[in-house]
Amino acid sequence: MDASKIESFVGAKWDDEIVPQLVEYIRIPNKSPMFDTDWVKNGYMDDAVKLMEAWARAQPIPGMQLEVVRLEGRTPLIFIDIPASGPETGDDCVLLYGHLDKQPEMTGWDDDLGPWKPVLRGDKLYGRGGADDGYAIFGSLAAIQALQDQGAPHARCVVLIEACEESGSYDLPAYVDHLADRIGKPSLVVCLDSGCGNYEQLWCTTSLRGLAGGNFTVKVLEEGVHSGDASGVVPSSFRLLRQLLSRIEDADTGRILLEGLHAEVPADRLAQANKCAEVLGTAVFDKFPFLPGMTPMAEDLTELVLNRTWRPALSVTGVDGMPPLASAGNVLRPQTAVKLSLRLPPTLDGKVAGDLLKDALLRDPPNGAHVTLELEKASTGWNAPAMSSWLEKAIDDASQEFYSQPAMYMGEGGSIPFMGMLGEKFPGAQFMITGVLGPHSNAHGPNEFLHIPMGKKVTASVARVIAEHHAASLRGETTGAAVAADSGSRHGDHGCC
Q: Please report which confidence band the pLDDT of residue 480 belongs to, taking 50, 70 and 90 as the band edges.
A: low
User: pLDDT tens-digit profile of 46-83?
Assistant: 999 999 999 999 999 999 999 999 999 999 999 999 99
Q: What is the CATH number of domain 3-208+382-493?
A: 3.40.630.10
Q: Say which range, 72-81, 156-165, 334-343, 486-495, has the weakest mean pLDDT.
A: 486-495
Angle at 97 between CA 96 and CA 102, to 5 degrees: 155
The strands making up 382-383's β-sheet, listed across from edge to edge, are: 382-383, 203-208, 408-412
State which H helix or E strand residue 455 sits in: helix 452-474
User: Looking at 1-5, 15-19, 20-24, 395-399, which range is the least confident one?
Assistant: 1-5
- DSSP one-letter code for 386: P
Question: How far apart, in whole angstroms, are the C-alpha atoms of residue 32 and residue 39?
Answer: 8
pLDDT at 482 over 70: no
Span 127-148, pLDDT tens digits: 999 999 999 999 999 999 999 9
Domains 3-208+382-493 and 210-275+311-379 share a fold: no
Question: CA triplet 414, 416, 417: central angle to 5 degrees?
Answer: 125
What confidence tier does 87 reach under pLDDT thresholds 50, 70, 90?
low
Contact status, residue 208 vs residue 382, Cβ threshold 8 Å: yes
Domains of the chain by residue range = 3-208+382-493, 210-275+311-379
Q: Residue 486: what are its φ and ψ, rounded to 5°?
A: -75, 0
Domain 210-275+311-379 has CATH 3.40.718.10: no
Q: How far apart are CA 79 and CA 72, in angstroms?
A: 16
- The beta strand positions in 100-238, using DSSP E, are 119-121, 124-126, 156-162, 188-191, 203-208, 210-219, 225-226
